[in-house]
Amino acid sequence: MKFVILDGEPHSADYSEYRIEPNVVAVYYAEHESGFLAGLAAALQLKEGDFGFVGGMEIPAVQKFNWGFQQGVAFANENYGTKIVMKQENNLYQGSFDNISAGQQIAASMYDRGVDVIFAAAGGVGVGVINEAKNRASSGQDVWVIGVDVDQYPEGVLPSGKSIILTSAMKYLDRASYDMIVAELNGTFPAGEILTFTAANEGVGIPAENPNLDKAVTDEVSKVSAMMTSGELKVQASGDGLFK
């Protein structure tokens, strides 16, 4: 029996010991790079406005989404002349991944304060954010959500056929799973290894297609992603100088 663990590795109950066995592969993702590209895409598409972030539990994977997102927005402001504002009051962690109603309440408060786009990296809490955005969009309000982990475009579709998901900060879970199956079939399963999927090995990014993003935007994001792949652009996996 072989095991592929996405977003983690085997450890003791108190997290004091980590150990990879010969039949296990642990897979991590560069969430900060994915968040960066999503923040850049959203900033280039809207050009100006207020952005917010709603996280679930304040754990490294969620924090890195947030930190990368902020860097992506700042990069757009500095290099493309966009005018996106991110305020401390619109940057928070709810503390769980299952409180849908709390997510909806938080989103309502942010949208009431004039936030145009919320990046929700929060599981079920993010579902609440999406629900609030859909309710407001159905009433004619122009609000958006940035999805996480997978392409959440379908989850934001309204009866009109439009989706309130502007883009998504994706971890290509399908590619990693597929690659590990192929490796096992080919006798090259990377047993006992810890792998990290990044923009450089096409492990993270934004959806290849999204009706809410102009082609000029996706083309520009592709160029910046290539800069990350080549090492010309480095996204920091820390909150130094950013909202925590």
Residue 80's pLDDT is 98
Among 166, 129, 137, 207, residue whose Cα is nearest residue 46: 166
Residue 15's pLDDT is 84
DSSP annotation of 15 reads: S
Among 66, 77, 11, 82, residue whose Cα is nearest residue 33: 66
Helix/strand/coil percentages in the chain, nearest 5: 40, 25, 35
Pairing status of strand 204-205 against strand 144-149: unpaired
pLDDT for 161-173, tens place per residue? Answer: 999 999 999 999 9
Q: Is residue 242 part of a domain?
A: no
> Domain of 66: which CATH number?
3.40.50.2300
Residue 243's pLDDT is 79
Q: Is residue 137 part of a domain?
A: yes
Q: Which two tokens stand for residue 100?
A: 């849908």
Residue 189 has pLDDT above 80, yes or no: yes
Q: Which two tokens stand for residue 42?
A: 């959203």
DSSP lists the bridge partners of residue 144 as 117
The H helix count followed by the E strand count for the chain is 6, 9
Q: pLDDT band for position 229 (50/70/90)?
A: very high
Residue 235 has pLDDT above 90, yes or no: yes
Strand ordering across the sheet containing 194-197: 3-6, 24-29, 194-197
Q: Is residue 169 part of a domain?
A: yes
Rounded to 10°, the helix 31-46/215-230 angle is 150
The per-residue pLDDT of the chain, averaged, comes to 95
Share above pLDDT 70 across residues of the chain, in percent, rounded to a whole number: 100
Q: pLDDT band for position 227 (50/70/90)?
A: very high
Q: Which two tokens stand for residue 229?
A: 């792949």
**Domain span holding position 8:** 3-230
> For 181, phi and psi rounded to 5 degrees?
-65, -45
How many angstroms separate the CA atoms of 179 and 100, rounded? 33
Cβ–Cβ < 8 Å for 112, 132: no
Q: Is residue 92 part of a domain?
A: yes
How many angstroms separate the CA atoms of 208 and 58, rounded? 29
Q: Is residue 152 part of a domain?
A: yes
Cβ–Cβ < 8 Å for 236, 228: no
Q: Is residue 235 part of a domain?
A: no
Mean pLDDT to the nearest integer, 196-209 = 93
pTM assigned to the model = 0.94
Q: Is residue 16 part of a domain?
A: yes
Q: pLDDT band for position 41 (50/70/90)?
A: very high
pLDDT for 96-154, tens place per residue? Answer: 999 999 999 999 999 999 999 999 999 999 999 999 999 999 999 999 999 999 999 99
Residue 241 has pLDDT above 90, yes or no: no
User: How distant is the alpha carbon of residue 97 from its chain centre?
Assistant: 15
Cβ–Cβ < 8 Å for 104, 132: yes
Number of structural domains (the chain) is 1
Mean pLDDT to the nearest integer, 188-199 = 95
Q: Is residue 240 part of a domain?
A: no
Share above pLDDT 90 across residues of the chain, in percent, rounded to a whole number: 91
Strand ordering across the sheet containing 48-55: 83-93, 48-55, 117-121, 144-149, 165-171, 204-205
Residue 244's pLDDT is 66
